[in-house]
Structure 1
Amino acid sequence: MAAWSFMSIISCFKVKCLLCHKELTYSNNTSSMLRHYRALHEHAPTTVNPQTSQISKKEMVNEALVNMIIKDSQPFSIVEDAGFRELLQVLDPTYVIPTRKALKGMVENKYRETKEKTKEQLQQVVSVSLTSDMWTSLHMDAYLAVTCHFIDEEDKLCTTLLDVQHFPKCHTAENLATGHMKIMEEWGIKDKVKCLVTDAAANMIACVRTLNVRHAICIAHALNLIVKKSFDDISSFNEIRTKCRKLVTFFRTSTTAKERLAQVQEQMGRPVLKLIIEVDTRWNSTYNMLERLFSVERTSGGSPGLSKD
């Protein structure tokens, strides 16, 4: 007997028996459902409405679709892709794929539902800590991101992203403090914030001072600054870094050079390795860049097919 003929999905992690209305934990398989049926209902008469079962299966697929969009950062337009529609048609010919607009509404409902549950959870905790950072999108739009950390009733460390809001205002301490305060008030944690972790930027430090909460400098940012300052004190090493950056930039911006590098590695019977460029905000990217250059130089064997100039 198919599990979904007597079970109804009620959330991402719970299902309900249509025969006895008992709720069971759901973890993407039907084993517990079948065990429940065999133990309690296998030899008893069943009166499950097939139409109700079909609706439950549709709700389950809708839930899975919404979760896929959220977890994999997929666009709403995926429901219009021919290959995706063909896949769902093969898996379940009876399933009616929602439109892009309908899917957007389903994701928004999921967001509101999850947000309310998280708010309720935050009301039960005594204190929280926040991490905050300003970042810029590929289109040069500024955003303020705030993440909350707390210990739940089971002594488990929990983390939830509170907001990633567009921040077109000047990044003054006053504006940043106002932005943080609005987020804290929205989530009902204004009087529960015990510490705010940020980078060492002067405006962030002044912002936390305005909020009058304990401040901690992000260890990753601090480590990056320490390493970068150490680089600056070694002129010979900086000269090597500069030359390596120019070399990597050349191969990353020239299609001909990039293809030639791959050909040489293939001719040598070695794995094709792409060059890595260092990133200012990640000190270990300098190490990765140098290590990759060294590996590529060894795998190409100083081939005459590549100029060393």
Structure 2
Amino acid sequence: MVDEALVNMVIKDSQPFSVVDDVGFRELVHVLDPSYVLPTRKALKSMVDTRYEEAKEKAKEKLDNVVAVSLTSDMWTSINLEAYLAVTCHFIDANDQLGTILLGVQHFPNTHTADNLAIAHTMVMEEWGIKDKVRCLVTDAAANMIACVRALNIRHAICIAHALNLIVKKSFDDVPGLNELRTKCRKLVTYFRTSTTGKERLAQVQVQMGRPALKMIIEVDTRWNSTYSMLERLYDLREPVGAALASLRTDVSPPTSLEYETMKDALDLLAPFHQATVELSAEKRVSASKVIPLMKMLNHTIVRKSEGLTSNMARQLADNLVRRVREHALQMESISVMTMPTLLDPRFKKLGFLSPGKLQEAITRLKSECANVIRNSETTPPAQVPASQAGPSTTCGDLWHLLDSTVDNSRRSSSVTADATIEVDRYLSETNLARTEDPLGYWNKQKLQHPNLYKLALTFLCCPASSVPCERVFSKAGEVVSKKRNRLNPNTFHKHYTIALPVP
């Protein structure tokens, strides 16, 4: 019992194995239980390895019983400058609940080429026995990741958080004056973050004004929403910043009142993108089905907000955002891994699409997918008609075989297509669920009413909208590979970290 508690502490708190040699820890354990003998570092490592194997077998049992899975993948570099590849697995279990399993954070010493990444992903899929079940892989928009998924020959989805970040960044870059304003703000923020005198003075001014002492937020290219967060904090602190600068010896100048007005308009335009990114990043339920409706709502919101803008730069920004959102929306509405989840989500169905033409194409694709499910479920071959009951043509040997078989296949195909069309049309004609309801709860209740669409729902609704699960992995991984554990073997790290997050 105590051994088990010790292993739990090491895993959950990311403690080094050497904790069992720490004098203070040994004294504490002795006071709590004088009869307990602490294991050696080697024995403790063996206990953690055993726990890993137990957790892995438990996770494999879950994956053996699912219809389909989707993966997210990303790269990370530790404090030792060692590269790691993280892969998470997402699925709908036998109880129609969304589940997630961390397949591992594996050491990746090879160059980050598409071929090497494809080999590593293949090994992970084969190790876990899911190679034939993977329906989608979600990554960032890096060229090597895109080429990797193409080599794996599976469906690919770009992380929506990365996509929204790129839309905002490129739209900013296309407005020269706005980009210069952002550069000016970043210089000002950098001063208050790096100057001890400036930082202390800003805090003092905020306290004197009866406000909480907030710190500046710096923009980071790889961090989602960082531009929005930087500008929002600076705009909120515009009065304390002006007062602090007036008493400091620096050549850094604050934005003018006109620039602050432009900043306010820009923040108003960026707020929906911030909200969308936060919502999808925090989503623990079905999320891929939200991408297409989300792009439609962003387009609608930006168009509406642009009507009240007074700044020319803000209007240019609005035009750029609308153009890029529409381009991305139309692109998403052409990809089956995005359109199928949207149609199969009873909250959205047909309402999420921006293009009527793309909607009809998606419905046609859904009917085709449904027909394939029906064909694959027909395992019993058609009964053979006895010769004594057959018509005259059966006495003619093989003379009419080609024509008769063609007619039979055509009739069977026509019936399958008709059945699929009826099931899809019946489902789409039903009233949509409220956006706050759980789509998997709907399919759990309607699996007998729409049996073939239910199978498709299990396949497509497990796809996550973003690679945020991997980002969370790396946040925790930074605690595991810490200064106190900088000599941790990559293989030991993989085992230790994989079980640090429990199987749902």
Taking structure 1 as the reference length, what is the TM-score of the superposition?
A: 0.71
Partner of 1:49: none
Please tell me whether residue 257 in structure 1 is matched to residue 237 in structure 2: no
- Secondary structure in structure 2 of the residue aligned to 1:161: strand
Deviation of the 1:129 alpha carbon: 0.9
User: Does the C-alpha gap of structure 1 residues 300 and 80 become closer, same or farther in structure 2, counting only changes over 3 Å?
Assistant: farther
- Tell me the C-alpha RMSD between the 2 structures: 2.6
Q: Which has the larger radius of gyration?
A: 2
Aligned partner (choices 262, 271, 276) of residue 217 of structure 2: 276
Partner of 2:52: 111
Structure 2: distance between partners of 1:233 and 1:197: 28
- Secondary structure in structure 2 of the residue aligned to 1:302: helix
User: Does the C-alpha gap of structure 1 residues 64 and 240 become closer, same or farther in structure 2, counting only changes over 3 Å?
Assistant: farther
Partner of 2:123: 182
Query: 1:10-54 deviations in whole A, cap 9, x for unaligned?
Result: xxxxxxxxxxxxxxxxxxxxxxxxxxxxxxxxxxxxxxxxxxxxx
Partner of 2:159: 218
Deviation of the 1:283 alpha carbon: 3.6
| Uncovered stretches (5+) of structure 1, i.e. residues with no partner | 1-58
Question: Which structure carries more relative contact order (alpha carbon 8 Å, separation 6+)?
Answer: 2
Query: 1:233-271 deviations in whole A, cap 9, x for unaligned?
Result: 122221122122222223333334333433443444432
Query: 1:152-204 deviations in whole A, cap 9, x for unaligned?
Result: 11111111111212222222221111111011111111111111111222222
Letter in 1 for 2:81: M
What is the aligned residue count? 250
Partner of 2:105: 164
Deviation of the 1:232 alpha carbon: 0.7
User: Does the C-alpha gap of structure 1 residues 301 and 82 become closer, same or farther in structure 2, counting only changes over 3 Å?
Assistant: farther
Structure 2: distance between partners of 1:259 and 1:98: 49
Deviation of the 1:296 alpha carbon: 3.5
User: Does the C-alpha gap of structure 1 residues 302 and 80 become closer, same or farther in structure 2, counting only changes over 3 Å?
Assistant: farther
Partner of 2:141: 200
Letter in 2 for 1:194: R
Alignment of 1:35-184 (within 5 A): 59=1, 61-81=2-22, 84-85=25-26, 88=29, 91-92=32-33, 94-184=35-125
Deviates more, 1:287-296 or 1:247-256: 247-256
Letter in 2 for 1:213: I
Partner of 1:248: 189
Taking structure 2 as the reference length, what is the TM-score of the superposition?
A: 0.45
- Verify the 8 A CA contact 1:275 1:293 in the aligned structure 2: yes
- Verify the 8 A CA contact 1:262 1:272 in the aligned structure 2: yes
Structure 1: distance between partners of 2:113 and 2:80: 21
Please tell me whether residue 227 in structure 1 is matched to residue 165 in structure 2: no
Deviation of the 1:302 alpha carbon: 1.2
User: Does the C-alpha gap of structure 1 residues 190 and 106 become closer, same or farther in structure 2, counting only changes over 3 Å?
Assistant: same
Identical aligned residues as a percent: 73
Deviation of the 1:299 alpha carbon: 4.5
| Uncovered stretches (5+) of structure 2, i.e. residues with no partner | 253-504
User: Does the C-alpha gap of structure 1 residues 300 and 253 become closer, same or farther in structure 2, counting only changes over 3 Å?
Assistant: closer
Give 1 or 2: higher helix fraction. 2
Deviation of the 1:96 alpha carbon: 4.1
Structure 1: distance between partners of 2:194 and 2:177: 26
Give 1 or 2: higher strand fraction. 1
